[in-house]
Structure 1
Amino acid sequence: MKEEQLLHLLDSMTLEEKIAQLVLLTGEFFDSEERSIGPKQKIGITQDVIDMAGAVYNVFGAEEVVKIQSNYLKKSKKGIPLLILADIIHGYKTVFPIPLGLGSTWNPDLVRKCMEIVADETSASGVQGTFSPMVDLVRDPRWGRVMESTGEDAFLNSVFSAAMVKGFQGERLDTSNRSIASCVKHFAAYGAPEGGREYNTVDMSERRLRQDYLPAYKAAVDSGCEMVMTSFNTVDGVPATGNKWLLRDILKEEWGFEGVVLSDYAATQELILHGVAEDELDAARLAIEAGLDMDMKTSVFANNLLELVNKGTVSESLVDQAALRVLRLKNKLGLFEDPYRGASVEREQVTLLSENNRKMAREAAAQSVVLLKNDKGVLPIQPDKKVALIGPYSDEKMICGMWAIQAEYEAVVTLKEGMKRQTAEASFFHAKGCDILEDYSVLGGMAKYLKTDTNPEEKEVYLSDAMQAAEQSDVIVLALGEHMFQSGEGASRTELSLPEHQLTLLDKLSLLGKPIVLILFTGRPLVLTGLVNKVASIVQAWYPGTETGNALAELLYGKRNFSGKLSISFPHSVGQIPVYYNEFSTGRPLSVSGRSERFVSKYLDAPNAPLFPFGYGLSYTNFEYSDLRLSHPSFSYGDTIQLSVDVTNTGEMSGAEIVQLYIRDVTGSVVRPVKELKGFQKVNIEPGETLTVLFIITEELLRFYTLEMEYKAEPGKFIAMIGTSSDSLLETEFTLLP
């Protein structure tokens, strides 16, 4: 449909029809009228609004989508199809690692290809857009949704943000039914709640917001994302969903975003609970004036915008602008020509969990895993070793993360299944050891979905079997972790250790004196300080998805090498949080001598540095960095300089190394971080081979928000650092001339 046709359609619509386009409801509203009575009554919405609603979300499967769309179009006076959206975060039926794991790949091209597969599977099943990527920067792992982020760094998050949007949407939405519309979330700064508590207040300076938290959202907008979801939190004292400065001034005017801005679940109504709206009428006014286009799962727009416009409180032009944005998105998706967008049961059968999709899931899983410790070469496991696989995650299929809501768990490869394919049956022993949790009540309402009735006798058998298996082995592989529902939305935690009974199992096994390979399945960095010296190796697996077992087994047995690096720091203790690599120096830094040992910035009972830093990850081989060199010691605005380093594989196995570039602005008009990631390259190097890795440094790479809040580089001295992690770097200096 051409733009003039779209405008004509808008002109032909009644005010009620335009308002209905701004309503986003769940699939339960589109059941039979008898079954939808409860949901309608709960939010106070009429059947007339449902029959004209703009979008539905979390309806899955081609058959169901086609039925809902067909029934809807039969009632539609204008023939405007429904927009079908869903929470497809990192996989539909084929599930890839959680985003925090994808961040650990440091491989945006791989992640883009993974999201192409997600889009292909999702679109085959009838869904036309996804509430992803989540690009919130996170420096507090107490927040459960850290699992949905790619980490603690603005630069890295921005790279992944762009890659995911391009993966979901392709080059153009309207030329391929294998693409889906992308919705970046949660705008803005949702990843910085006070105390790490879900839905809590966020308060920071505009400079920090612009410097650290906004770049990843802007990267998504610049990459063409079609939707932006508002966050639940406040920004400078104003909830995001009613924040005109955020939605209109920055997003729409400053950044030029022309897509659809939609609320998170019931966030429009929550303006009342926040205390900035008196009632739903007031909430509707605030949200539409702020720049919200679509209201998710409330009747705030549906029941109040008509009155506001009729009274002259709100201009009808605001409703027209929002409705036109929704219609334009539907038009981009080609829904006026094909409201089902190629969805079919036949296409699902060919696409979902295909061999190619599983192959990519295995590759992503393998690259997402991070080797944190490997003493005495315990890994890779040698063929002549007898192995005991023990732990609640040893044969667990729920290893996809909380947000893999459509995962095909029967298709998930467990660690046990993967390892059995790599070793002789006579050399392999297995025991569960214990349940993931002893008290499932900590999961709140999520516990009702789980079997939680293990009796004391079963627990004794689990432990006895574990000790027996361990005694017969040469190496113990111990698969522990937090429960999948202990991370994700609504899963903030004040204690970040493993469950006590899992630690007890570890302690009992360690008394046998045999090397233990600890594999951790988590959705966040845990505090590992008390157990790091009890095990020979630590493998951080996150929740790797459908191909978990195959990917991990190949790594454990040396069929492939580890290459993952942390995209978030691991704290020594909860009291150290937030701890991140690109902090500011203080006036009394710990590293500067000449002051009393006591009166510097430090803890009395813990180091300042994290247990495992950003960018850290081991390999089965070793990489040596040498000959860091600049093409010129200085450069001017408009010019560039080249920074090169030689990286040698000094080990006996080929490996992929992530070469990381950091820069420090030594003196600025405002305090600058001690280092900032400004580039990285993932390179494959053969044993004995030396590779020269080149980075181009531009003035643009040095920009920041100055004292006058201008985004520009200031002349002066800079330190360039290249190395294998944020705390293992070679350094050199250069100058940006006035």
Structure 2
Amino acid sequence: MTQDASRPSRRAWLMGAGATLAWVASPARALLAQAAAAPLPDEVESLVARMTVEEKAGQLTLMAAAWAGGAATALNPAGAGASFEGQLRDVRRGRLTGVFNGNGAVMAQRMQRAAMTQSRLKIPLLFAADIIHGFRTVFPVPLAEAASFDPELARRTARAAGAEAAASGIDWTFAPMVDIARDARWGRGVEGAGEDVLLGRLMAAARVRGFQGENGLADPRAVAACAKHFVAYGAGEGGLDYNSVDVSERTLREVYFPPFEAALAAGAPTVMASFNEISGVPATANDWLLTDVLRREWGFGGLVVSDYTGDEELIAHGLAADAREATRLAFLAGVDMSMQSGFYLKHLPDLVAKGEVPAARLDEAVRRVLALKVTLGLFDDPFRRIDPARERAEVRTPATLALAREAGARSIVLLKNEEQLLPLPRAGKRIALIGPFVSGQHDLIGPWNVYGTDADATDLATAVRSMVADAAQVSVTPGSAILAPLPGGIAAAEAAARAADVVVLAVGEAQDMSGEAQSRSAVVVPEPQLALARAVATTGTPLVVLLRTGRALALDDAVLGARAVAVTWFLGSQDGPAIADMLFGRVAPSARLPVSFPRATGQSPYYYAHKSTGRPNPPGPLQPFKAHYREFEQSALFPFGHGLTYGDVVYSDLSLSSDRLAPGDALTVRATVMNRGHHPADEVVQLYVHDVAASVTRPIRELKAFQRVTLSPGERKTVSFTLRRDDLLFVGRDLKRMVEPGAFRLWVAPSAEAEGVNGSFMLG
């Protein structure tokens, strides 16, 4: 790396061991080590030579199943004129590589039989689906599960979801979504792991490992993962879905690339291109992203698929004049497979015939598709995942439902708990369940689930009544609808609250208010529900608020005034039982916020790892001509990493093994945590650092590690972290990862904005 003359004292240091360390620590290194794809078996390679150009284009064409499953028709319609018989004809003619979001094993069996007995080349079909947070057993939405701060839990739920999907004939899931999301207005943040790069990397890798299992992709219980959406989809201007993205290459490399690198290093064999443009070039036709970075720099040898009609949308973007040009641009940029538009089937043969697309590029893409099918074991046994009997026996089992309940309880974030109102006793209290989300089979499983249903999920009222000693002591009053008042609703809710010893008020978003195409201009609890909250609060009955949401919310005083507030997200098949477990102390709350809750919508995008600017407001009152809004300081209402447990945890006794981190050494950071409360505590201890002065300005804090610690009442434990130089890498002025000597601050704390215990060290 070249020396920057403007900063010789720092940049000149990056040489020798420092440069080597940066290279070894780069996730790209792991990818390049496995970059060379194994050659196809001879019998499969021979198919490439035997295929017509039309059949090759067919291998690159994926369509929504005309015989769709569950909610697939609404989420990803097959298109006008599509029919199951028509798709069978395309299979026989070699015009289709597979379908997605189909209707289970019987459908897959009929289609695969047509491919293997009636097509010319007998190439097996590939069956894909959106298995985002569960199949028939629905687990917490990914953002909720990220709140667990437990990658192993994410691996376990992905493993269960993958096994269920495979039992239904599915080979490939369009998950995990690994987009970093820092704007609460963007609805699709519900599918990811939130705002932090480290947590995003860990969850991405865990979910890939979970979907794919431990025995290779040929295992009948494994499904291939697809890291999506490449890249920076979550950075759309104004938090608007599909919107333009204009970020620096440094931001791409520091924030948006790392979760993809982690997913690929964990073995994801496919990547999905994102809808958005980046600096004027849509990702679906961005050869710098798909070829220069993904292929050449990272050495990725797998398959790149478009998102739903992503190639077609190049026309609306204004990049392509027509369908033919859109096909050429997407294919030459590096998109191997077209999803849903049908453009590749229609236009690739002519583009190849006229020399506008090299035949070698066509064969390259076909080999990638065939390689995926080989890896999945489909050439050995095309029906290995297609078994109606197994489909009936291996979904929604007691084990998967128990896991859903565990994951749900461990995803709930307790924001406040004044006077230890929670946990509630199971007997001796009259409980008023109030709000549009306390009962009924609706808004339980969350957005983007194709095969699970709310009808199969358990609501809060059912769970609470089953857990208390006397179900007659529990009243249920909706009070309002989600977006509109109910006639007499508030009066009924006030009466129920006055008759109760405690109110549990469930308010927030409907599940169709989060997810794709559900950006919100105001990230607030809808006004009819706030009116309900204000009315209930005036009764004076102790109030617990449960927030149903798929995003961070800016909270009104009607909610903030409650004695206890918990974020319950959308928890899936066991939504009600998981919440009841937390309410009554069967499970202590242990989750932490994976996204910062802003003070107001206008503060969005807000994330903890922001820059200080040249005019930060010093501690204390707001000062003029400093970087803050007129109304409040530049901090979160509830920051990333925040969450309470039923204990009372305090931090003390920070110690560092040295005040200097030298080349080749490691720095041990220790702190003591103690539970002063009367309940067991489950604490997530977090380590943050700040590079005080660098050649590129650094965030005010960055999460570097975290540990979960369980503490009995009165118990204290020492938590130990190890920091190495590669933990302090950043993207330098030459856009390469590097480290520099200098001063660093660190915090061992319960959130990104808590002081905890803090100190400093020198990197030398």
User: What letter corresponds to residue 464 of structure 2 in structure 1?
Assistant: M
Q: Choose which of 546, 556, 565 in structure 1 pairs with 2:592.
A: 565
Find the aligned partners of 1:50 and 1:680 in 2 and give their Cα distance: 53
Q: What's the offset of the Cα at 1:465? A: 3.6
Indicate the residue corresponding to 2:449 in structure 1: 404
Indicate the residue corresponding to 1:447 in structure 2: none
User: Is the CA contact (8 Å cut-off) linking 2:115 and 2:123 kept in structure 1?
Assistant: no
C-alpha distance after superposition, 1:8-37 (max 9, x if no partner) = 222222222111100011111899xxx999
Asked if 1:586 corresponds to 2:634, the answer is no
Asked if 1:201 corresponds to 2:244, the answer is yes
Question: Which blocks of at least 5 consecutive residues in structure 1 are unaligned?
Answer: 439-455
User: What letter corresponds to residue 39 of structure 1 in structure 2?
Assistant: G
**Secondary structure class of the residue paired with 2:235:** coil
User: Is the CA contact (8 Å cut-off) linking 1:60 and 1:127 kept in structure 2?
Assistant: no
Q: Choose which of 309, 316, 326 in structure 2 pairs with 1:283.
A: 326
Asked if 1:614 corresponds to 2:640, the answer is yes
Indicate the residue corresponding to 1:674 in structure 2: 700
Find the aligned partners of 1:82 and 1:518 in 2 and give their Cα distance: 49
Asked if 1:525 corresponds to 2:530, the answer is no
User: Is the CA contact (8 Å cut-off) linking 1:569 and 1:610 kept in structure 2?
Assistant: yes
Question: Which blocks of at least 5 consecutive residues in structure 2 are unaligned?
Answer: 1-38, 70-76
Find the aligned partners of 1:637 and 1:318 in 2 and give their Cα distance: 46
Q: Choose which of 473, 479, 492 in structure 2 pairs with 1:433.
A: 479
Paired residues for 1:72-151 under 5 Å: 72-151=115-194
User: What letter corresponds to residue 674 of structure 1 in structure 2?
Assistant: I
**Secondary structure class of the residue paired with 1:667:** coil
Find the aligned partners of 2:116 and 2:218 in 1 and give their Cα distance: 23
**Secondary structure class of the residue paired with 1:218:** helix
User: Is the CA contact (8 Å cut-off) linking 1:40 and 1:46 kept in structure 2?
Assistant: no
Paired residues for 1:463-474 under 5 Å: 463-474=490-501
Find the aligned partners of 1:77 and 1:732 in 2 and give their Cα distance: 70
Asked if 1:230 corresponds to 2:273, the answer is yes
Paired residues for 1:341-380 under 5 Å: 341-380=384-423
User: Is the CA contact (8 Å cut-off) linking 1:29 and 1:40 kept in structure 2?
Assistant: no
User: Is the CA contact (8 Å cut-off) linking 1:97 and 1:365 kept in structure 2?
Assistant: yes
User: Is the CA contact (8 Å cut-off) linking 1:476 and 1:514 kept in structure 2?
Assistant: yes
Asked if 1:267 corresponds to 2:305, the answer is no
User: What letter corresponds to residue 177 of structure 2 in structure 1?
Assistant: M
Indicate the residue corresponding to 2:503 in structure 1: 476
Find the aligned partners of 2:481 and 2:383 in 1 and give their Cα distance: 44
Structure 1 156/107 Cα, relative in aligned 2: closer, same or farther at 3 Å?
A: same
Asked if 1:333 corresponds to 2:359, the answer is no
Q: What's the offset of the Cα at 1:84? A: 0.3
Indicate the residue corresponding to 1:688 in structure 2: 714
Asked if 1:637 corresponds to 2:663, the answer is yes
Asked if 1:63 corresponds to 2:101, the answer is no
Q: Choose which of 530, 538, 542 in structure 2 pairs with 1:503.
A: 530
C-alpha distance after superposition, 1:139-185 (max 9, x if no partner) = 11111101111100111101000000000012343442111000111
User: Is the CA contact (8 Å cut-off) linking 2:91 and 2:114 kept in structure 1?
Assistant: no
User: Is the CA contact (8 Å cut-off) linking 1:184 and 1:225 kept in structure 2?
Assistant: yes
Asked if 1:12 corresponds to 2:57, the answer is no
User: What letter corresponds to residue 391 of structure 2 in structure 1?
Assistant: E
Indicate the residue corresponding to 2:36 in structure 1: none
Indicate the residue corresponding to 1:415 in structure 2: 460
Q: What's the offset of the Cα at 1:464? A: 4.3
Find the aligned partners of 2:612 and 2:534 in 1 and give their Cα distance: 39
Find the aligned partners of 1:488 and 1:248 in 2 and give their Cα distance: 29
| Greater CA drift, 459-468 or 111-120 | 459-468
Find the aligned partners of 1:647 and 1:46 in 2 and give their Cα distance: 63
Find the aligned partners of 2:489 and 2:100 in 1 and give their Cα distance: 42
Q: What's the offset of the Cα at 1:708? A: 1.7
Indicate the residue corresponding to 2:205 in structure 1: 162
Find the aligned partners of 2:217 and 2:143 in 1 and give their Cα distance: 31
Q: Choose which of 678, 681, 689 in structure 2 pairs with 1:652.
A: 678
Indicate the residue corresponding to 1:292 in structure 2: 335
Q: What's the offset of the Cα at 1:341? A: 2.0
User: Is the CA contact (8 Å cut-off) linking 1:165 and 1:224 kept in structure 2?
Assistant: yes
Asked if 1:389 corresponds to 2:433, the answer is yes
User: What letter corresponds to residue 543 of structure 1 in structure 2?
Assistant: F
Find the aligned partners of 1:548 and 1:734 in 2 and give their Cα distance: 45
Q: Choose which of 296, 310, 319 in structure 1 pairs with 2:353.
A: 310
**Secondary structure class of the residue paired with 1:147:** helix
User: Is the CA contact (8 Å cut-off) linking 1:624 and 1:648 kept in structure 2?
Assistant: yes
Q: CA RMSD in A?
A: 2.1
Q: Choose which of 47, 51, 60 in structure 2 pairs with 1:22.
A: 60
Find the aligned partners of 1:484 and 1:368 in 2 and give their Cα distance: 17
**Secondary structure class of the residue paired with 1:725:** coil
Structure 1 431/532 Cα, relative in aligned 2: closer, same or farther at 3 Å?
A: closer
User: Is the CA contact (8 Å cut-off) linking 1:121 and 1:351 kept in structure 2?
Assistant: yes
Q: What's the offset of the Cα at 1:48? A: 4.7
Aligned length: 712
Q: Percent identity?
A: 40
User: What letter corresponds to residue 679 of structure 1 in structure 2?
Assistant: A
TM-score by length of 2: 0.90
User: Is the CA contact (8 Å cut-off) linking 1:529 and 1:572 kept in structure 2?
Assistant: no
Structure 1 577/174 Cα, relative in aligned 2: closer, same or farther at 3 Å?
A: closer
Q: What's the offset of the Cα at 1:571? A: 0.7
Asked if 1:710 corresponds to 2:736, the answer is yes
Structure 1 372/698 Cα, relative in aligned 2: closer, same or farther at 3 Å?
A: same
User: Is the CA contact (8 Å cut-off) linking 2:186 and 2:240 kept in structure 1?
Assistant: yes
Find the aligned partners of 1:63 and 1:243 in 2 and give their Cα distance: 39
C-alpha distance after superposition, 1:175-229 (max 9, x if no partner) = 4211100011100000010011111000011001110111111110111101100
Q: What's the offset of the Cα at 1:592? A: 6.6
Indicate the residue corresponding to 1:451 in structure 2: none
TM-score by length of 1: 0.93
User: Is the CA contact (8 Å cut-off) linking 2:514 and 2:551 kept in structure 1?
Assistant: yes
